[in-house]
Each structure stands twice: as C-alpha cells, then as structure tokens.
Amino acid sequence: MFTVKKIWAPWRIEYIKQPNKDDECFICKIIEEPSENDSKNLLLYRGKNVLVMLNLYPYITGHLLVTPYLHTSELNEISDNVSTEMWKLTTKSVELLKKAISPQGFNIGINLGKVSGAGLLSHIHIHVVPRWSNDTNFMPILANTRVISQALEETFNELAQHKEMLIDEE
C-alpha cells in the first residue's frame, strides 16, 4: 500500500502569495536597501556592478543568484565590463560553493522569458545551482515539490564564512 507523506515547506507561502512577481523587482528592492540588511536579505557580496545572493526560493541548498545592479531583461543592454564582472563572480561563486558545501557538480544558467522558466522576467540573473549525485528524486516529478535539505539562514552562514573568496582583487 502506498502512503502519502506530508512535506512541510512553510517558507514557500511567501512566494505563492506574492502578487504578479514582475510588478516589483525583488532584486532592485534588495539593492536599494542599506548594506546593514545584507544578511537579512541573504546577500553575500556587493561588487562594483554585480551582486551575489542566495536564491530566496531555491531549487536546492546553496542556489545562488549573480545579478547586475542594472534593471534589465535584455542581455545586449549589459555592458562588457558588467558582463565580465558577472562571469567572474559566477566563477568565484562556484569556488565558494565547492569550499563551503562540497557539491559534486553545478547547473549554471540564465532563464530569459517566461517559457524558459524565468520567475522574474525583468531583471537578468545567473543561477548557480550546486548538485549532488543523490539530489534528484521523484518529488519534482510526482509532486512538483523540491526538498531543500538545509534552512536558508544556515546555508547563508556557511557561505558567509568564505565570502572573501568573492572579492575582486582589481
């Protein structure tokens, strides 16, 4: 006999109840807040033109976003120096995750447009998603549910211990 078990993810209700998610850009809102709120906002690093933060609604533990301060949905609107900084911080984010939480692989990408899976259409961001050999299971397929194995604040604290790795020496 098959028994249905409940998985509680109470933090998801904030995401579900949000109005049209593109009416207010959560990234711009976080950028505008004072740096004293960075920990509360799970923002790990503010670069010259780009920031690195934990995804508030992650696919898996350690899911980071690398995003420019510039509010745009168009790749061709991002200058060469900002693109370079984004890629450098993406590379450094991979190294940070390797050191802090030891994933076995990564998915890295940008979702452009709703049909590609973009949850926020108006502000480009790179997803850096750590992966482990046993992190895929039946939950996303059968129940459209992801199992996050660690609280966001706990993950943030682990990553913050190594955030100096994100600092650009230039």
Q: What is the pLDDT of residues 15-44, one digit of tens each?
A: 556 555 546 799 999 999 999 999 999 999
Domain count, the chain: 1
In a domain, 7, yes or no: no
> What pLDDT does residue 154 have?
84
> What pLDDT does residue 141 have?
41
In a domain, 1, yes or no: no
- Asked if residue 72 lies in contact with residue 83, where contact means CB atoms within 8 angstroms, the answer is no
In a domain, 4, yes or no: no
CATH number at residue 161: 3.30.428.10
Q: Which helix (H) or strand (E) holds 53?
A: strand 50-54
In a domain, 6, yes or no: no
In a domain, 73, yes or no: yes
How far is residue 89's CA from residue 87's CA, in Å, rounded to a whole number? Answer: 5
Which domain does 87 fall in, by range? 19-166
Any catalytic annotation for residue 71? no
In a domain, 82, yes or no: yes
> What pLDDT does residue 56 have?
84
> What pLDDT does residue 142 have?
41
Decide if pLDDT at 71 tops 60.
Answer: yes
Q: What does each C-alpha distance from 2 to 5, 68, 129 come to in angstroms?
A: 10, 47, 32
> What pLDDT does residue 170 have?
62
Q: Looking at 63, 71, 123, 125, which residue is catalytic? A: 125
In a domain, 142, yes or no: yes
pLDDT tens digits, residue range 75-132? 999 999 999 999 999 999 999 999 999 999 999 999 998 888 888 889 999 999 999 8
| pTM (predicted TM-score) | 0.78
In a domain, 162, yes or no: yes
Answer with the residue of higher pLDDT: 9 or 47.
Answer: 47
> What pLDDT does residue 57 have?
79
Q: Give the percent of the chain with pLDDT over 70.
A: 76
